[in-house]
Structure 1
Amino acid sequence: MTNFLCCEIVMGAIRILTEKVAAQIAAGEVIERPASVVRELVDNSIDAGAEKITARIKAGGRSLIRVADNGTGMDRDDLLLCLERHSTSKIKTVADLFSIKTLGFRGEALPSIASVSRMEIVSRAADQLIGHKLKVAGGALKSIEETGAPAGTSVEVRDLFYNTPARRKFLRAINTETAHIIDTVLRVALPYTDIYFRLEEGERILLNLPPSKNLSNRLVTVFGRNVAGALIEGARDFEGFQIKAYLAPPDLSRSRGDRIFIYVNGRNVRDRYLSSAIMAGYGQRLMKGRYPQALVFIEIAPSMIDVNVHPTKQEVRFHQNRLVYQALSSTVERALRRTLKLPFDRTGQVYEGTPGTLETEGFTHVIAEPGKAYLGARQVEDLQDVQSRGKIQEVVPLRTTSRVLGQLKNTYILCESREGLILIDQHAAHERIVYEKLRKSYEEKRVESQPFLIAPRLEFSHKETRLLMGKLDQLRNIGIEMEHFGGNTFLLRSVPSVLVGAEWESFIGELIPLLEEEKDLSAEAGLSKVWTVMACHGAVRAGHPLSETEMSSILDQLEDLNLPTNCPHGRPVFKKFTYYEIEKMFKRVV
């Protein structure tokens, strides 16, 4: 225990900061860059009931930011009060924090901005004839006077961070700051389709968003016409809240997550937890390192959230966090599953074709007689050999509205449908089939394993041996039985049936890092990763020739899956070329 009697106490080391220093510290929490100023001012304009909001900037907001609106405006007394810290018209008591419907409520934005800039506010209340102009520099009031002005408020911010050079030094290039401002205005404006938003820089119009009856025009501005036209809509009601989502197909994913937009009661939030729920909804439809383009609206009772989490008001906390996560994830998954389907129908009218084959280098064209299975140059023994390894189950082709044309480079299955030509990655397709079989057999507690007649010996490092010793039971549950043979040696007694005939040695090599990463292989995340590796090693490979029966079998089995569009790694299973696109290639249509 410290003996305070022996310590030298320096009196006067703690002091109260001056109002000016405290204001600049507080401003650092609220105002990070010029885009923060724009967001706060535009939020205020929306809360004021504005129908038109115009923002003008110079030098990326460094030298000038002006936001003008036609909202309710302020009289002289309110104009003076708005610069006092924690002065607000939005709340009165602590209880009001849990019934907030406005974007602002803390009463910090204008005082914070005023403390690090030269500010001028011109405002006129709608019920008054005369407006007022107020000037502030570095948080100090310089003047206030009457002036003629339209109803509403105009806030002009010049020389941002002029009195805090350390903050100004950290600002990025003008183009970078301008890009942040554009993104900020877009994010704020997106859900408020009844308000006219305009952003200008000098003579340039950076954004022009007139009011609209629906989201369509805003979606085009935010995502671009191609993505906006492909968005998948999903909506669900839950007890106490509703979710509406607009989701881009997985093939329009990006390398960054900057096109995920989340709104809670009209407030744009940046929430990793909610973003991860969207990612979970996409699941294996996305490749590793890819992010979706998505727009999500959550309408929830104000009493079920806490918006007073961060000074920037861009974070929210849900009282039932896990419930909202699961609801959002399931809404996304259901919308994608309902919409993203195979581009062919394996039941219905059969195509009539002319029997025959055409072979060229790297391509085998197979046309089957109607009602007859055609095995081409492949032998029946080859098919049986593949089946005996658990590769592909033979399914008698159905009468279909699509037909298999053949293989390209022994890697892609060519299929003709009513809409056009479909190119199917045979490895990705079969990988998905094997993955779903593994998952289903585990859920039904009937994991199929194949014992070795002579168990192979496997040598591991001391670290890997200790790891395996603690995972033997978990491995057995997923069809991998290993026996410790002493030292760092193990006997591989059995493997899942899908791996019989495959390169199981390389599979075990990939399994070890997974065991280090996942503490519990019985958990969903761990199982999914193991099944993904198993499916990759157990699926038919690229470059492997297939008979027409095997190709048809893959198509038939794909149709029965919940997620036939992507392999477990997220790669697409097929690519469709419509007849219109093909005819356009050959200039048959303009």
Structure 2
Amino acid sequence: MVSTIQALPTEVVHLIAAGEVIDSLASVVRELAENSIDAGATRIVVAMWPEQWRVRVTDNGCGMNLEDLQRAASAHSTSKIRICADLWKITSLGFRGEALHSLTTLADLEILSRPAPSVEGGVCGWRVVYGYTGEVVHLEAAAIAPGTVVTVSNLFGNCLGRRQGLPSTAQQMRAVQTTIQQIALCHPHIAWQVWQNDREWFTISPASTMGQLIPQILHQVRASDLQELQVEIPEKESQANDSKLNLVIGLPDRASRHRPDWLRVAVNGRMVKTSELEQTILGAFHRTLPRDRYPICCLHLLIHPGHINWNRNPAKTEIYLNDVNYWQQQISQAIEQALRINSATVKEVVHTSRVGKLIKAAEEKSNYNINPSQPDEPNQTSHYLTAVGQVNNTYIVAEHPGGLWLVEQHIAHERVLYEQLCDHWQIVPVEPPIILYQLSPAQVSQLQRIGLDIEPFGEQLWAVRSLPALLQQRDDCADAILELSWGGDLQTAQVAVACRSAIRNGTPLSLPEMQTLLNDWQRTRNPRTCPHGRPIYLSLEESALARFFRRHWVIGKSHGI
């Protein structure tokens, strides 16, 4: 009997391997751009002719000499690693030596390159054309500035079925744009210029940090809507350098998304997919956003390469991270720190449309009616907000070093109570029991699920013998328990208890009571929104007030002198 198992021909092996690395125009751009970054480029120009299946990437990196150019497209040729141990010390974006070789298998490849004049071989540039599987078929001297120009033409020309299976041109261009934006976020110091069919498509200007770059990509978000944080993380084990965590979040009272499409996680310069870290981010924002809204969060971990196994995915988008629980803990703490209101974030320069609308309404109505119910208290230097008065028994007017804030008292107190309940959820006995009527089996089961002691007490009667401690002294305790019986998990119950127990709008407060609430609220972990995601405060910055009252005018000129 003849064996049906046979070794694949070499050309088939190369084609299969190449298809794992290069599967679209976006993957071509990604691989070439990452090579440019590894070469130290600070300016990258990407030009595409999608109908011709052609891509050109130009950079001002270190360039290659003639010897390197002759080897660059050979199979498994790289300058990044040498031995097996190097796989656990990877600090570059590329290291497998597959990208250029794969391109020679799937397309026509041409490279022009020249090192810097100070480097050996930097006097002259070279143009190299590669044939199938990476052999050099044409070589000539070329006039070129230091750097590299890689041109890929006729992509998938030898396997046209691959082209037919790809998305439309418009979809591929969106994928290219997303790819470039993700790389730019990881390397904000690089300038990008992108062309499509000989016309400039978009540019990305260099920035000092990831947070300064985001408004160029997410145009509806302003810099003042974001909070950026950089944290040094000490290694658990002895390593050469401490780790760093760069975090940019959209403040939950100003910026959120309909979809979880701006949860971006990068590790050591590359965007990756890691469900564990993404769930950690979502968990850290839990009960800070409205229902069906998702956070804006860009996280970049710079950690010792020994913690990472990049060999999980051909595109290196999936990784294995050692001791993931430790990194999850660090991320949660960083997000908690970024969400706080403190001396670093209290002087935010915010002049949004909300402030403009409020001032416009004030002009029309002229009816603030701020009447402090107590004489002014001494300024409490231990806190950043000082209670001034109360508007309509609903909003606390607070002064801070940068201007004036309006704090909605009910939802500020709701945030305080909710976090207290999360930290100290306590079920206490109640005597006599609270009698409820006509509960369904589902309602009884729900009350038992959140820890309440409930038992039959007669025909269609139920006795509740324990309840959350916060509800114990309330006159509407029975109504509150009925509300809890309508479903949801423990956190939903905690939100409901906090909402029902919080100070009602319309309740007059003394200045000491206002100040106590402000102090408690400032100490919460997520002071910007209530557990339902509503904004708690409105900031009227001194700079915005100065612009409105035109205090920058010169007095003499304003009088026509």
CA contact (8 A) 2:398 2:407 kept: no
180-189 or 484-493, larger mean C-alpha shift: 484-493
Q: Are 2:163 and 1:168 equivalent residues in the alignment?
A: yes
Deviation at 1:210, TM superposition (A): 5.9
Aligned to 2:332: 329
In structure 2, what residue type is equivalent to 1:504?
A: A
Whole-angstrom CA distance in 2 between matches of 1:342 and 1:209 = 27
Deviation at 1:136, TM superposition (A): 3.8
Deviations along 1:460-509, one digit per CA (max 9) or x if unpaired, are 34x777x56xx84x744xxx221256999853233224444053354233
In structure 2, what residue type is equivalent to 1:432?
A: R
Whole-angstrom CA distance in 2 between matches of 1:296 and 1:372 = 44
CA contact (8 A) 1:243 1:296 kept: yes
CA contact (8 A) 1:122 1:153 kept: yes
Q: Are 2:485 and 1:509 equivalent residues in the alignment?
A: yes
Q: Are 2:298 and 1:315 equivalent residues in the alignment?
A: no
Deviation at 1:142, TM superposition (A): 8.3
Q: TM-score, normalised by structure 1?
A: 0.73
Alignment partner for residue 148 of structure 1, among 136, 139, 142?
142
Q: Are 2:234 and 1:238 equivalent residues in the alignment?
A: yes
In structure 2, what residue type is equivalent to 1:180?
A: A
Whole-angstrom CA distance in 1 between matches of 2:34 and 2:513 = 57
Deviation at 1:285, TM superposition (A): 2.8
Aligned to 2:100: 110
Deviation at 1:581, TM superposition (A): 4.2
In structure 1, what residue type is equivalent to 2:322?
A: H
CA contact (8 A) 1:34 1:181 kept: yes
Alignment of 1:207-286 (within 5 A): 207-209=202-204, 218-223=213-218, 227-229=222-224, 230-239=226-235, 240-250=242-252, 251-286=254-289
Deviation at 1:98, TM superposition (A): 0.2
Aligned to 1:481: 453
Aligned to 1:29: 20
Residue 367 of structure 1 aligns to a residue in which SS?
coil
Identical pairs, percent:
28
Deviation at 1:311, TM superposition (A): 1.0
Alignment of 1:320-399 (within 5 A): 320-339=323-342, 365=369, 367-368=371-372, 370-371=374-375
Gap change, CA 1:268 and 1:553, over 3 Å in 2: same
Residue 491 of structure 1 aligns to a residue in which SS?
strand
Gap change, CA 1:194 and 1:559, over 3 Å in 2: closer
Deviation at 1:568, TM superposition (A): 1.8
Aligned to 1:560: 520
Q: Are 2:79 and 1:89 equivalent residues in the alignment?
A: yes
Give the aligned length: 507
Residue 414 of structure 2 aligns to a residue in which SS?
helix
CA contact (8 A) 2:413 2:503 kept: yes
Aligned to 1:438: 421
CA contact (8 A) 1:49 1:72 kept: yes
Deviations along 1:399-439, one digit per CA (max 9) or x if unpaired, are x84333332xx8x4252536666444444223223323424
Aligned to 1:569: 532
Alignment partner for residue 53 of structure 2, among 56, 60, 63?
63
CA contact (8 A) 1:456 1:493 kept: no
Gap change, CA 1:256 and 1:491, over 3 Å in 2: same
In structure 1, what residue type is equivalent to 2:41?
A: A
Q: Are 2:492 and 1:492 equivalent residues in the alignment?
A: no
Gap change, CA 1:555 and 1:178, over 3 Å in 2: farther
Q: TM-score, normalised by structure 2?
A: 0.76
Note the aligned Cα RMSD (angstroms).
Answer: 4.0
Residue 510 of structure 1 aligns to a residue in which SS?
coil
Gap change, CA 1:510 and 1:84, over 3 Å in 2: farther
Deviation at 1:225, TM superposition (A): 9.4
Deviation at 1:102, TM superposition (A): 0.9
Residue 192 of structure 2 aligns to a residue in which SS?
strand
Alignment partner for residue 127 of structure 1, among 120, 123, 134?
120
Residue 263 of structure 1 aligns to a residue in which SS?
strand
CA contact (8 A) 1:56 1:199 kept: yes
Alignment partner for residue 403 of structure 1, among 385, 388, 391?
388
Deviation at 1:553, TM superposition (A): 3.6
Aligned to 2:497: 534
Alignment of 1:573-588 (within 5 A): 573-578=536-541, 581=544
560-569 or 186-195, larger mean C-alpha shift: 186-195
Deviation at 1:38, TM superposition (A): 0.6
CA contact (8 A) 1:39 1:185 kept: yes
Residue 292 of structure 1 aligns to a residue in which SS?
coil
CA contact (8 A) 1:460 1:488 kept: no
Whole-angstrom CA distance in 2 between matches of 1:496 and 1:216 = 42
Whole-angstrom CA distance in 1 between matches of 2:139 and 2:65 = 12
CA contact (8 A) 2:128 2:140 kept: yes
Gap change, CA 1:447 and 1:557, over 3 Å in 2: farther
Deviation at 1:294, TM superposition (A): 3.3
In structure 1, what residue type is equivalent to 2:299?
A: V
CA contact (8 A) 2:70 2:136 kept: no
CA contact (8 A) 1:119 1:157 kept: yes
Whole-angstrom CA distance in 2 between matches of 1:319 and 1:85 = 30
Whole-angstrom CA distance in 2 between matches of 1:154 and 1:53 = 10
Residue 434 of structure 1 aligns to a residue in which SS?
helix
Gap change, CA 1:433 and 1:220, over 3 Å in 2: closer
In structure 2, what residue type is equivalent to 1:417?
A: E
Deviations along 1:2-27, one digit per CA (max 9) or x if unpaired, are xxxxxxxx854434333344334333
CA contact (8 A) 2:246 2:299 kept: yes
Deviation at 1:83, TM superposition (A): 3.1
In structure 2, what residue type is equivalent to 1:144?
A: H
CA contact (8 A) 2:44 2:193 kept: yes
Deviations along 1:164-205, one digit per CA (max 9) or x if unpaired, are 444323434434333332332232234445544332224433
